[in-house]
Structure 1
Amino acid sequence: MREVVQLYGAALERTVALADPATMDAMVRDDLVSSLLLVHGLHPHDVETRVRTALDSVRPYLGSHGGDVELIEVADGVVRLRLLGSCNSCPSSSVTLETAVQDAVQAAAPETTGIDVETPDSHELKSGVISVESLFSHVHADGGGTHWVEVPEFAEVEVGEVAGFRVSGTDLLVCRSGDDLYAYRDRCPVCEHSMAGAVLERMMGRPARDAAVLTCPTCSAHFSVYGAGARVGTGSEHLAPVPVLIRDGVLSVALADDSVIPVT
């Protein structure tokens, strides 16, 4: 078996040597081929370049929740990041880190061993070094992990529309504001009823992008779409956001393996 692997590696090395720049670029952008290049130590990009590319791939998701991420450096196997915008304090920060950033960084640079997270207002560490293995710790503690599910049907949701979907046994509420898609678990945290029938509204007196809110049809509570589902006004409740990313060219959501939301 070892000889076969070595043969494949030698053949791949020969392919890399013969490839022109355009072909090499196409190989790097293909997730499967890129993984093989990493396994055999033939990837043409250094770890920092790969991490930057990985963060670029999740930047649309972070932006849809009012945030961004800045790469400070990669040193001694640790990726140092700074969260910007509402990602620093919004209720979906853990979701953002654990599903979007961790998944992208680990796939692009499996040799990294941890992530440092800094606040945008200071260079003090927000939570110290987060090992790659522990980023999903609270999900695993609940007895499951996470998995990505392709949801190309989400693309059919039109601007201003709110739609319900059942994905792998989980009921989700999906809406589109502008060019951005947002997904939440279908449960109002205030009255604990389904959000089925919720409408997307705009609140007067707020900046255009921050004005989009989802209104619960049962208790009329308002939740900020751009603010990761945080309740508008009194109360600290928030909807449970679900990451939506384009992975391998297909819209996908990240769900907990044991996540099943009952229909109410």
Structure 2
Amino acid sequence: MNDRPENHRAPTADTDRGREAGERIDTLLSALSAAGPVARERAEALVGEIVGLYGAGLERVVGLLEPEAVERLAADDLIASLLLVHGLHPHDTLTRVRTALDGVRPYLGSHGGDVAVVEVAGGVLRLAFSGSCRSCPSSSVTLELAVEDAVRAAAPEIETIEVVAAEPDSNAGVIPAESLLARIHSNGEHGGHWIGAPELAQLGAGEVGGFAVAGAAVLACRVGDDLFVYRDHCASCGNSMAGAALHRRAGFGSGAAVLRCPVCRAHFDVVHAGARLDGDGHLEPLPVLIRSGTPQVAMPMEAAG
């Protein structure tokens, strides 16, 4: 559920400022429309000239650098966004999408699932999801948030994400495409929001804590260096899991952790999407990423709003 910084280049504060600047420009241009079409056309022409001037300068800088130096520039989110705007990024769309998806695979793997690129055609990206626990009530929202966020940051030219059916896996049920992100547009419409939760960073290895994120009660656990977040709601008895503790799963390695409900004593696999080990059902996982050193949790719309 957690993507470490070395595995996933989560959007940084600089990237967020870049997006906010673009949104402010669009807002200003829209405001100028009130003065009439001529005023807007002149404003757009001015912005175009400025962007073109900076783009020409950036192209000249890139042309003077060795390929290794350009790769290092592309590894910085803010600079990468500028390279994309001016068509100077060293990697094509497919390469950037695949790299972004590699970053979220640890989270998908916590659900026992995976994702593969089927096709990139124009502004449409087609993905196939496989595996995962089809009984997870929050898979649709959490996968949408994790995958869309990664793709939008790496390849803003992708306008639509479509899910196609994957080949059945004999060892795991395929995530039904209709239950996932059948179609995602890059117009800012999300199934939820990323909410900053800096207090989660205070958890030490093996610790469990209850927190309020966007007004919703959540339970956070740290297993080694990884942070896992769930709704504070036992899938067995329906009670809060306040006071729950982590236990090592007998016969498994140190990374296998079990969360036991303090009320009904049901056991859940923390690392694998909160699947119950002694019965049916499982906890509701919430994606968590580290952004600029601060944990952020993806809260579904009904909780974040």
Aligned equivalent of 2:265: 220
Match of 1:244 among 288, 291, 300: 288
Matched AA of 2:210:
G
Higher relative contact order (Cα pairs below 8 Å, separated by 6+ residues): 2
Match of 2:279 among 202, 221, 234: 234
Which sections of structure 1, spanning at least 5 residues, go unmatched?
none
Matched AA of 1:219:
C
Judging changes above 3 Å, is the alpha-carbon distance between structure 1 residues 46 and 134 closer, same or farther for their aligned structure 2 residues?
A: closer
Aligned equivalent of 1:253: 297
- Is the Cα contact below 8 Å between 1:95 and 1:243 reproduced in 2? no
1:188 aligns to 2:234 (yes or no): yes
Matched AA of 2:245:
V
CA drift of 1:166 comes to 2.5
Q: How many equivalent pairs are there?
A: 251
Aligned equivalent of 1:131: 183
Matched AA of 1:127:
A
TM-score, reference length from structure 2: 0.69
Judging changes above 3 Å, is the alpha-carbon distance between structure 1 residues 190 and 97 closer, same or farther for their aligned structure 2 residues?
A: same
Cα distance in 1 between the residues matched to 2:111 and 2:61: 41
CA drift of 1:188 comes to 2.2
Aligned equivalent of 1:79: 125
Cα distance in 2 between the residues matched to 1:158 and 1:3: 52
Structure 1 vs Structure 2: percent identity of aligned residues?
54
Q: Residue 132 of structure 1: SS of its match in structure 2?
A: strand
CA drift of 1:41 comes to 2.1
Q: Which deviations, in whole Å up to 9, do the C-alpha atoms of 1:204-223 show, x marking residues without a partner?
A: 46x54895321221222222
Q: Residue 273 of structure 2: SS of its match in structure 1?
A: coil
- Is the Cα contact below 8 Å between 1:183 and 1:241 reproduced in 2? yes
- Is the Cα contact below 8 Å between 1:210 and 1:227 reproduced in 2? no
Matched AA of 1:10:
A
TM-score, reference length from structure 1: 0.78
1:116 aligns to 2:163 (yes or no): yes
Judging changes above 3 Å, is the alpha-carbon distance between structure 1 residues 7 and 135 closer, same or farther for their aligned structure 2 residues?
A: closer
Judging changes above 3 Å, is the alpha-carbon distance between structure 1 residues 257 and 72 closer, same or farther for their aligned structure 2 residues?
A: closer
Cα distance in 2 between the residues matched to 1:117 and 1:248: 34
- Is the Cα contact below 8 Å between 2:133 and 2:175 reproduced in 1? no
CA drift of 1:27 comes to 2.0
Aligned equivalent of 1:14: 60
Q: Residue 223 of structure 1: SS of its match in structure 2?
A: strand
Cα distance in 2 between the residues matched to 1:125 and 1:228: 14
When the two chains are superposed, the root-mean-square deviation of aligned CA atoms in Å is 3.3
Which sections of structure 2, spanning at least 5 residues, go unmatched?
1-45
Cα distance in 1 between the residues matched to 2:177 and 2:304: 30
Aligned equivalent of 2:81: 35
Cα distance in 2 between the residues matched to 1:135 and 1:68: 26
Cα distance in 1 between the residues matched to 2:102 and 2:293: 14
CA drift of 1:47 comes to 0.6
Judging changes above 3 Å, is the alpha-carbon distance between structure 1 residues 58 and 210 closer, same or farther for their aligned structure 2 residues?
A: same
Matched AA of 1:119:
A
